[in-house]
Structure 1
Amino acid sequence: MADGEERAKPKPFKAEYAKSGRASCRKCKENIGKDAFRIAKVVESKQFDGFMTLWFHSRCVFKAPGFITNVGDVEGVDALRWEDQQALRAYAKGEGGAQGAAGGKGAKGKAAGGSKSEEGKSEGKTKAKGRKAGAGDEDLEGAAAGVHGFQVAYAASNGSACRHCTEKIPKGQLRVGRMEPSSRGVEVVAWRHAACVGEEGIWPPGASVQGVEGWDALRKEDQATLQAMLGGQAKGKGKGKEAEPPKKRQRLAEQDGGGEEGKEEGSRRNKKGKEEGGMGEKGKGGAEEGREKGKAGEAGMSKELEKALEQQARRLWEVKDKLRTHMSVADMRAMLTANQQDATGSEDALRDRCADAMLFGPLPPCPLCSSPLEYWDGQYRCRGFLSAWSACSYSTREVQRREEPWTIPDDISNPFADEYRAQQRRRLKAGDKGKSKGRGKGKGKAEGSKAGEDGEGLWPQRLLPPEEKRSEVKKGNSAGEGGKEGGNGRAAREAREAAIPDGGVAQDKPLEGLHVALLGRLSRSQAAWRKEIEEGGGSVAALSSAAVDCVVATEAEAARSQDKLVPAITLGAPLLSEAYLLDSLSQCRRLPMRAPYLLPLAPHLQQQADAAPPAAAAAAASGAGRESKGKKGKERSGEGEERVRSVRVKGRAAVHEASGLGESGHVLDCDGTVWSTTLNLSDLSTGANSYYILQIIEDDKSPACHVFRKWGRVGSDSIGGSKVEGAGREQAVALFRRLFKEKTGNDWDAWQAKTGFQKQPGKFYPLEIDYGATDDDGGQGGAVMGTRSKLDGRLVALLMMIFDLKSIREAMVEFEINVREMPLGKLTKRHIERGFQVLTDVQAALQLPEDSTGRRESAIVDASNRFFTLIPTVNPAAIRTLQALSTKIRMLEALRDMEVTSTLLSASRGAGGGADEDEDPVDGHYRQLQCGLKPLERSDADYSLVSEYLQRTHAPTHKEWDLQLLDVFRVDRSGERQAFRADLKNHMLLWHGSRVTNFVGILSQGLRIAPPEAPVTGYMFGKGVYFADLVSKSAQYCFTSADSSVGLLLLSRVALGALHELTQAEYIEKLPRGKHATKGLGMMKPKEDEFVKWASDVVVPCGKPVPSGVKNSQLRYNEFIVYDTSQIQLEFLLKVKFIHKR
């Protein structure tokens, strides 16, 4: 690993000697004795955010060739005894386990093969070469050892399809099957054409086809064909039917390497029949590639280096064995402490560090964080922390050890310690004073010197093995693009389809969160469909239920029972064929609810569907996550609906739905303390991105309490767990305090007081969440919001649009913010301001010069860790570019406006902000805006002016969409006209665009300037409010899409005064004397002789774009920037439809 590189994932395998006798082999189920040679498969845990090891006897691994094909994929190889190292290398090269090597015990100072351990006896009988794979191995499940999990047969029907090329395999044709996990987490046979197996590279290199299950049942000519294709012989055309691959090849989008580690049951050892990480998986990323890389690595080791490494390994183990015999754990810790080395960790880790330093000298501190370095797995690494927020990821293969003797404390006295002291005194007395002449830095090369040889200075150099490259894991591609949209309910369809991931990777529960209504007689019984739907994660709902997401029917039944569909259609649920469920289940992904799955509606129902109010559509699809195009993260649609529906805010906090106590309990609120917290931890160097939720939930009708905790990985439903513990109030409070201290390293009182709380290395940090708005805010008495409003219908639609919580969640998903574990909460304003401060630190890190120590990279990662810990994000990545930094700035600006929306919604809950109970929530929201909004009639002169301005100023390069004006509202924000600087001259009516989710903040608080905490990056002419004279330039910042095509634009009266004109970027902190605003001069501008005057003194630059005559400008179009919000007066709000052309 290069210096400073992120260490997100461990190697896929690990080799060591068992530290205890508690583990059992995942293959043979027998105990793995202490100090026995064992090999682990490293998989992502389903119970916590991290990785877990699945252990096997080395003998069990060596009986299944193809499990490991590249020794570079194995952690800890050079920490093994030499015989076991060589056995593992030979196995990875396909030569089988070296005889007698596997199963030796790490505690003994003799060759592993010579030990008389239980494993050694078994392995001593195994030959290294010439053994037919799988012959007589009763401890291997299924087929032959060399081709475990494979089988061959003739297709019994025309029903199977090749997993590689997706073409059908005709009846009677030769096919090859491999056991692979299905979407249900059980293993099934995945069939392929024989030629496709070779083409895909999944056959274990060097494995014999003659031992595969079904071999003896094949015709001789087909055996010859299969042998030629897969058996390692020269390829040629066989006589069988599978001699040539099919003409058409189309790779199925699937995740390679899903293997058995994808099963959740694997980590629960008590569940029968569920084996995770089994031996059947052959070489991630392609066995053949792994084999070639492994051979290349071995080829790079010269005989001289190999001999020197063997001698070095034997000397290291000689010292380790003596340490085991003569030194206690306390002795080793005392030695390491006396020599400024790391004295933490297990007994084996302490012994490794002591042996390394006693042979090669004490290591220097880390150049980045000053923590002790240690040798491990071919490199010197740091296990310290850069700061309280970041683990140090420094590693190197070159290090200059300290030229000073190794100190053994005087109170340690034993034969080994005495002998070592005497040897060291002899070296010093002989004149080897610690100066190393002409010695290298330990680059892993044997340059004529033997490891451990005297006469090289105070310390000999440690030789490092050649770097083994890790295998590249092939990743699956997304598939399953939806077809063209058909007609079946306009508003509801748009809202729902925005919530459904278009394609995406396979899901274990593709229908999770989906509520399906079944209509009448189907092709199979409703009971059978119910079972299928529930197994896929969904549920069956009644047609009249408000929870219905879609209705499934046959075309004939739909034609007969149209009247039964009225409730569901009114809610916006689409009518789908059974093929939708079949395809979603078979493809293991939720497909878009579009053609060809949509069934036709009767004309009167189609009219109802198209006329369905946006509120109904939003309610029907509420809570569903949405995946924006190109986003790597994944939000399962439908999940949020159930989540939002089941959670209720009682008092000052929301009971988490996973507790199951939301209906009967409330979060304990006593003595001014709300006993609820959400903790977060993100560290890019370790790959951690974890959350931990802690609550005390008190029963509504009794003093009984429960302590609820939930943990996992941010954005993942499959990783983590939860627990509810009943207790009295005092016991619950004590447990809450203990868990908070354990997870954060701080007392709960310190966090509550906001004084004395210090972030601790490797510990969680609390988020400041103000539980406010919920999806039932505004809904009173079960009525649909907006139905009782006394406002103009156009204004009601606008208010419902800007106060829509579903849009807020979708925007958060687009920014990859974690909405799963704070779905009803919001980060406080102070918390968001801290995010801005951290981004300023990111900017400072980006400005650091590159250096060899990796300080710049470490500073970037450290600041990124702080940001993602404060702002939980689904897929965090180090903020390494100014463009990425600008994106995060925009994200926080959007979050700031969302916080305003949520605050206003919170204020309207309960008493409705002081309104009577009969007031529609929309009217209450409008009153809280304190901003007058009056819809203009199309006959109004101002409407005509705005429409002409919009149509004439579309820039020629903005061709992705056209703009259609839907409504215009006159804006009168409270107090803004009185504060406006009318004394300044040069007033213009200019454009400003923003996300819909930002407009509650804009209308209630006005257009604002970025806070002082925000970094200066991303503002071409400094922190100010930016305007344009071409509508399409501002419209770009509405960030609409084909699925969400309606945006909002502002026209503001801007008092520009004297302009400071620029053609190049210049960060303005203070304008030159006599200047009031900045104008960025573009190479195109509106045609000036088409300008008009409005309200007597306001220039409306509504001319068509023409060349400006400005040369060498960084801007294509004009920009206007003011740095004082009193120069801005909002005049018109435009509701605009973006007609996307692609």
Structure 2
Amino acid sequence: MTSEATRKQLPFAAEYAKSGRAACKGCQNLIAQGSLRMSVRKPSRFFDGLQDNWFHFNCFWKKLKKGDINEASIRGMDLLKWDDQETIREKINENQNAPDEAPSTGYKVEYSRSNRGKCAQCSKTIGQDVVKIGIKSKWYHVDCFPEKITSTEQLSHFDSLEESDRKMLSDKFNEKSSTKRKEDLPADDIVEPKKSRKQIKQENDLKKSLKKQADDIWNIRKTLQDSLSKAQMQQLLLENDFDLPKFGGESKLLDIISDCIMFGRPKKCTVCKDGEIVYSASSKTYICTGHLSAFTKCTFSNPNPPRVPFVIDSLLEVGNMKKLRTNKVRDRIYNDVAAKEEVIQPKSFSYLGVGAKASVQLYSGVKSGHAVSQGKQVHIMKNGAVVDPDCEIRDKVHVYHDEGGFWQCTLGHADSATNKNSYYKLQLLERDTSRKFYLFRSWGRVGTNIGGSKTESYGCDLEGAKQTFEEYVLKVRA
């Protein structure tokens, strides 16, 4: 089984495109809204967390290496329509059973074009028209070649040799083992253990139950989407004493309400007392959105938490809402096979995101923005405060202050469960020579070069700059 921390860092994701603005990382063309797309999730260069790099469905599988994916490694798999889930499972099966690619050894074979070349091993001349084997810029007699060759398939240009020379090399290098081990047999020759009738029936019954569950959820979702506005969806949650989600927009509202209508509204968290219990597409269980303290997220998780019926009486007359039945609570059914899989750490798509070395690059000195500074930074203090060195107008401004003090703050967020160690810095700046104001923001991961910064001008609107400053503080602390 995979740990909860690993579950939150799933390397892939699948969903329906929320807009038509994202470009495929494979072919660079736009991904149509509503189409099934796949994501490679890599550490972002711009913020402390994983970034989705989206691909057209078909483009994704073309670039995936063999054995680099399984169902447990895909966030959002069970939120898709059943037919699309099955399509992904078929693609996973094709990927895992694809023929092995012959490793590129760099070995090459050809006839010597002259008698001037010398063997890199014995230093003797390689005669003209004699078969020679090379690696990089060195050439060898066949008998002098120092590397182990187990098959002529490792030799480039082997097929261009004459038949007699091909036979000579085949006799010399190809293994002649009469005993085949199981791992040497072709996939078609490996006999898998036979499943009992009981096992087959259990698997078929589970598959039928999962299909019905997915179909029912999507029928509910379509009814909600066709019948209610975003404001009405928010009204339903508030009437059921459910806190509105801070992120995700209409799609998130549809996810939560569909789940509540299908299975029941999860009761408030009994651990932190104030968090909402929601289904997590990454953790593939129900988790709490609350906090145990100002610095610690709630650790509650349960595949089927206690529930109560979800009430939709106030909107029953709207659209097709009468079709929905909410008077029962039931348990969510899970795919036991996928739950037993380990999350794969893929080698594919290494060119995306921040590489492993870059993501842990440390540096000395004070760091407040997104670029790693080389050498020493000059910090200029004005009126008792230092303007962040990453602010592009730092020489022309100072930190604004009033009777309450300087308008600046640095917020931090560390979470071992999600491997986060983020900072967020705000400074309200005033121009040295006039009453013009700016809001400087910087953010990222502590101790790395991941992050960014931005300076926004507010002209003479001091109150507007103050209001935005306070809004950002509340938003980041939420």
SS in 1 for 2:84: helix
Contact 2:108 2:156 in 1 (8 A): no
Alpha-carbon distance between aligned partners in 1 of 2:417 and 2:227, rounded to the nearest angstrom = 37
CA distance in 2, matches of 1:367, 1:358: 22
Aligned-residue offset at 1:664: 5.3
1:309 pairs with one of 210, 213, 231: 210
8 Å Cα contact 1:648/1:655 also seen in 2:
yes
Q: What RMSD, in angstroms, separates the aligned Cα atoms of the two structures?
A: 4.6
Query: Which of 368, 386, 408 does residue 292 from structure 2 map onto?
Result: 386
Give the letter for the 1:763 counterpart. Answer: R
Q: Which of 246, 250, 254 is residue 347 of structure 1 equivalent to?
A: 250
The AA in structure 2 aligned to 1:642 is K
Partner of 1:77: 77
1:1023-1075 deviations in whole A, cap 9, x for unaligned? xxxxxxxxxxxxxxxxxxxxxxxxxxxxxxxxxxxxxxxxxxxxxxxxxxxxx
- Structure 1 residue 692 and structure 2 residue 429: aligned? no
- Matches of residues 4-153 of structure 1 in structure 2 within 5 Å? 9-66=8-65, 68-94=68-94, 153=106
Q: Which residue of structure 2 aligns with residue 369 of structure 1?
A: 272
Q: Is the 8 A contact 1:154 1:171 kept in 2?
A: no
Query: What is the alpha-carbon distance in structure 1 between the residues aligned to residue 359 and residue 174 of structure 2?
Result: 33
Match of 1:463 among 329, 333, 347: 333
Is 2:454 the partner of 1:723?
Answer: yes
| Structure 1 Cα separation of the partners of residues 207 and 51 of structure 2 | 32
The correspondence for 2:323, drawn from 404, 419, 423, is: 419
Could you say if the C-alpha distance between residues 678 and 354 of structure 1 is closer, same or farther in structure 2, counting changes exceeding 3 Å? closer
Supply the AA of the counterpart residue of 2:341: K
For residue 442 of structure 2, what is the aligned residue in structure 1?
A: 710
1:474: Cα distance to partner?
9.1
Deviations 1:1068-1127 (A, max 9, x none): xxxxxxxxxxxxxxxxxxxxxxxxxxxxxxxxxxxxxxxxxxxxxxxxxxxxxxxxxxxx
Distance 1:53 1:416 in 2: 35
Superposition map of 1:1086-1125 within 5 A = none
Residue aligned with 1:461, SS: coil
Question: Larger Rg: 1 or 2?
Answer: 1
Distance 1:16 1:195 in 2: 46
Which whole-Å CA distance do the structure 2 matches of 1:365 and 1:735 have between them? Answer: 37
| Deviation of the 1:37 alpha carbon | 0.8
Match of 1:683 in 2: 415
Equivalent-residue separation in structure 1 for 2:171 and 2:224 (angstroms): 64
The 8 Å contact of residues 391 and 686 in structure 1, kept in 2 or not, is answered as: no
Provide the TM-score with structure 2 as the length reference: 0.67
Structure-2 separation of matches of 1:301 and 1:60:
35
Match in the other structure for 1:737: 466
Pairs within 5 Å for 1:574-973: 641-643=375-377, 646-661=378-393, 665-669=397-401, 673-698=405-430, 706-717=438-449, 719-726=450-457, 728=459, 730-731=460-461, 733-734=462-463, 736-745=465-474, 763=477
Any conservation in 1 of the 2:73–2:344 contact (CA below 8 Å)?
A: no
Instruction: State the Cα deviation string for residues 393-447 of structure 1 (Å, max 9, x = none).
Output: 4222243333xx44222343146332336x95xxxxxxxxxxxxxxxxxxxxxxx
Task: Report the counterpart of residue 827 of structure 1 in structure 2.
Answer: none
Where 1:642 maps in the other structure, the secondary structure is coil
Please report how far the alpha carbon of residue 36 of structure 1 lies from its aligned counterpart in structure 2 after TM superposition.
Answer: 0.9
Deviation at 1:218, TM superposition (A): 3.0
Task: Report the AA paired with residue 471 of structure 2.
Answer: E
Question: Equivalents in 2 of 1:69, 1:195: separation in Å?
Answer: 31
1:171 alignment partner in structure 2: 137
Contact 1:65 1:91 in 2 (8 A): no
Q: Structure 1 410/708 Cα, relative in aligned 2: closer, same or farther at 3 Å?
A: closer
Percent identical pairs in the alignment equals 28
SS at match of 1:723: strand
For residues 94 and 87 of structure 1, the distance between their equivalents in structure 2, rounded to whole angstroms, comes to: 11
Say which SS state the counterpart of residue 317 (structure 1) adopts. helix
Amino acid at match of 1:69: I
**1:361 and 1:701 mapped to 2: Cα distance?**
61
Give TM-score, length-normalised by structure 1: 0.31
For 2:124, the equivalent position in structure 1 comes to: none
User: For each residue in 1:93-145, what CA deviation from the matched residue of structure 2 results, as whole angstroms up to 9, or x when unmatched?
Assistant: 3358xxxxxxxxxxxxxxxxxxxxxxxxxxxxxxxx99xx9xxxxxxxxxxxx
| Aligned 8 A contact 1:7 1:684 in 2 | no
Give the counterpart letter for 1:654 in structure 2. Answer: V
For residues 247-396 of structure 1, the aligned pairs below 5 Å read 302-341=203-242, 343-344=244-245, 345-370=248-273, 371-377=275-281, 378-396=284-302
Is 1:373–1:382's contact at 8 Å kept on the other side of the alignment?
Answer: yes
Say if 1:473 and 1:304 are closer, same or farther in 2 by CA, change over 3 A: same
- Note the C-alpha offset of 1:696: 4.3
User: Is contact 2:2-2:342 (8 Å) kept?
Assistant: no
1:585 is aligned to: none
CA 1:240 to 1:655, structure 2 compared with 1: closer, same or farther past 3 Å?
farther
Instruction: Quote the Cα distance in structure 1 between the aligned partners of 2:227 and 2:458.
Output: 49
Tell me, in whole angstroms, the C-alpha distance in 1 between the residues paired with 2:57 and 2:148. 31
Contact 1:338–1:409 under 8 Å retained in 2? no
Query: Would the aligned equivalents of 1:65 and 1:94 in 2 still touch at CA under 8 Å?
Result: no
**Distance of aligned partners of 1:390 and 1:325 in 2 relative to their CA distance in 1, 3 Å threshold:** same
Judged with a 3 Å threshold, the aligned counterparts in structure 2 of structure 1 residues 366 and 667 are, in CA distance, closer, same or farther, namely: closer
Gap change, CA 1:324 and 1:147, over 3 Å in 2: farther
Contact 2:441-2:454 at 8 Å conserved across structures: yes
CA distance in 1, matches of 2:401, 2:239: 51
Alignment size in residue pairs: 397
Give the letter aligned to residue 444 of structure 2: G
Deviations 1:154-190 (A, max 9, x none): 479xxxxxxxxxxx9553689xxxxxxxxxxxxxxxx
Helix, strand or coil: the match of 1:391? coil
Alpha-carbon distance between aligned partners in 1 of 2:95 and 2:447, rounded to the nearest angstrom? 43
1:184-583 map, 5 Å = 218-220=157-159, 302-341=203-242, 343-344=244-245, 345-370=248-273, 371-377=275-281, 378-402=284-308, 405-414=309-318, 416-420=320-324, 458-466=328-336, 467-471=339-343, 473=345, 506=357
Unaligned runs of 5+ in 1: 97-128, 134-145, 157-167, 175-192, 197-209, 223-236, 244-297, 425-457, 476-504, 514-622, 626-635, 746-759, 765-1142
Is contact 1:364-1:400 (8 Å) kept? yes
User: What amino acid is the match of 2:213?
Assistant: Q
1:1040-1059 paired onto structure 2 within 5 Å: none
What SS is found at the alignment partner of 1:311? helix
User: Any gaps of 5 or more consecutive residues in structure 2?
Assistant: 110-133, 141-146, 162-168, 176-198, 348-355
Change (3 A) 1:708 1:401: closer
In 1, Cα distance between equivalents of 2:407 and 2:388: 12
1:742 is matched by which residue type in structure 2? E
Deviation at 1:704, TM superposition (A): 5.7
2:233 alignment partner AA: M
Cα gap change, 1:649 to 1:64, in 2 (>3 Å): closer
Give, as a single letter, the amino acid of the residue that structure 2 aligns with 1:744: V
Taking the aligned partners of 1:13 and 1:327, their CA distance within structure 2 comes to: 31
Q: 1:408 to 1:238 in 2, by over 3 A?
A: farther
* Change beyond 3 A, Cα 1:299–1:45: farther
